[in-house]
Amino acid sequence: MPMFRLLVVCIVAVLSLPTLAFAQASAETGGAAARPMVSLDQALAGVRWQGRVPSPASIGDKTPVVMVYATWCPKCNTWTPELFAQLAEAIKDKPIILFAVNADETVRGVDYALQRNLVGPNIFHGDDPSIVARMGFQSELFNYSIFKEGQQLDRKQAGSYYKQDDGSKEFVLSRQIKTGLDGKFSLLTDETSDTLKHVLWPIELGSKLDERSLLAMRKMMDDTLAEEFNSAISSFLDRQVQKIADSREGTVPQQIHGYELAELIATDFKSTPQGRACRGLLDKLDENESFQNELTAKKLYDQAMQKGSTPVALRRMMARASSRFPETHFGKEAQKVIDAVQ
């Protein structure tokens, strides 16, 4: 009897879960999961964009999502307005970037998504029929992938949905955006006003941020907005300085990343307290022979990784770092590469 009761409880629990269905039958990814995953750079390499888009490098800690769709399926066209409305609402004010790529073979279909109001500061549109094969999809009909640290994590159907008690649909991608994806903003916070969000979104997506650009933006603000803007920038710079300070207790790569960030702040915000603090740190590290050796070893290591196109060339170039700086982190990493390619 106890086993029977356990079975009943399990059945009830399963039946109570949301029902996952598919809005279209032809978008199965099937065996595509066995194909190698790609980087975000590779996935977006051939896309013809409408307007400016953020580069993968400028996305920062925000989560990229690439959705591929087509316009030729009559059945899909009946539910895409609902899907796009859910996506536009789900992604609003989230540290997530949606790249919506039309994969029609014969037409440029960006207007298809725009007319269905798939719009927002963090939604970007383009065309590329070849993206289907690059991303490992077996169909151009509404598939998507999440990327983390620049690498494709999965392949899923954007047309799949949960049936709700009231008969409506909650699309899996919109639910995942709302509840299952992480990411961090550089400037935006929950307290940022809608007006200031409009100003800061381009910066979040890679627009130049330095004292000159800040001055130009302030000229177009009233006093209230300028005060909020100044506070947001000051808080951002404080967080950068804290990140730099924390890096000094981290690994050598983390310390070097902090040094590079300090160079950026010291150059672009040199008249601010944060910029002057970064300049002081840089002056100390420039006199630190051990740290300078680490910087040079990393430079040689990076050059070898970029230009060592053959095993012989890679070993030769890595030997420059490993022989000159054998006790540094990147000197040791260079020796590992040499050992691995022999």
Q: Is 185 within a domain?
A: no
Are 30 and 165 members of one domain? yes
Are 254 and 303 members of one domain? no
Last residue in a domain, options 126, 144, 179 = 179
Question: 87: domain CATH number?
Answer: 3.40.30.10
Mean pLDDT score, 162-187: 90
Are 173 and 40 members of one domain? yes
Are 221 and 278 members of one domain? yes
Mean pLDDT score, 304-331: 94
Q: Is 256 within a domain?
A: yes
- Give the model's confidence band at 321: pLDDT under 50 very low, under 70 low, under 90 confident, else very high: very high
User: How does strand 96-102 pair with strand 63-69?
Assistant: parallel
Whether the pLDDT of residue 107 is over 80: the answer is no
Is residue 172 within 8 Å of residue 162, measured between CB atoms? yes
Number of domains in the chain: 3
Q: Is 1 within a domain?
A: no
- Give the model's confidence band at 21: pLDDT under 50 very low, under 70 low, under 90 confident, else very high: low
- Give the model's confidence band at 22: pLDDT under 50 very low, under 70 low, under 90 confident, else very high: low
Mean pLDDT score, 129-149: 93
Are 207 and 298 members of one domain? no
Q: What percent of the chain has pLDDT over 90?
A: 74
3-class state of residue 299 by DSSP:
helix
Distance between CA 342 and CA 339 in Å, rounded?
Answer: 6
Are 151 and 133 members of one domain? yes
* Confidence at residue 157, expressed as pLDDT on a 0 to 100 scale: 93
Last residue in a domain, options 179, 211, 230 = 179
Q: Is 223 within a domain?
A: yes
* Confidence at residue 84, expressed as pLDDT on a 0 to 100 scale: 95
Higher-confidence residue of 9 and 185: namely 185
In 10 A of CB 185, how many CB atoms? 19
Q: Is 263 within a domain?
A: yes
Q: Is 327 within a domain?
A: yes
Q: Which two tokens stand for residue 127?
A: 């065309």
Give the dihedral of Cα atoms 200, 204, 207, 208; nearest 10 deg: 90
Are 33 and 62 members of one domain? yes
Whether the pLDDT of residue 4 is over 60: the answer is no
- pLDDT, mean over the chain: 88
* Confidence at residue 55, expressed as pLDDT on a 0 to 100 scale: 85
Are 35 and 172 members of one domain? yes
Are 33 and 169 members of one domain? yes
Q: Is 121 within a domain?
A: yes
Are 171 and 51 members of one domain? yes
Are 262 and 298 members of one domain? no
Are 297 and 282 members of one domain? no
Q: What percent of the chain has pLDDT over 70?
A: 90
Distance between CA 27 and CA 173 in Å, rounded?
Answer: 14
Mean pLDDT score, 64-78: 93
Whether the pLDDT of residue 96 is over 50: the answer is yes
* Confidence at residue 105, expressed as pLDDT on a 0 to 100 scale: 85
Structural domain for 333, as ranges: 290-341
Beta bridge partners of 39: 151
Q: Is 283 within a domain?
A: yes
Place of tokens 């006093």: 223
Whether the pLDDT of residue 179 is over 60: the answer is yes
Last residue in a domain, options 261, 287, 313 = 287
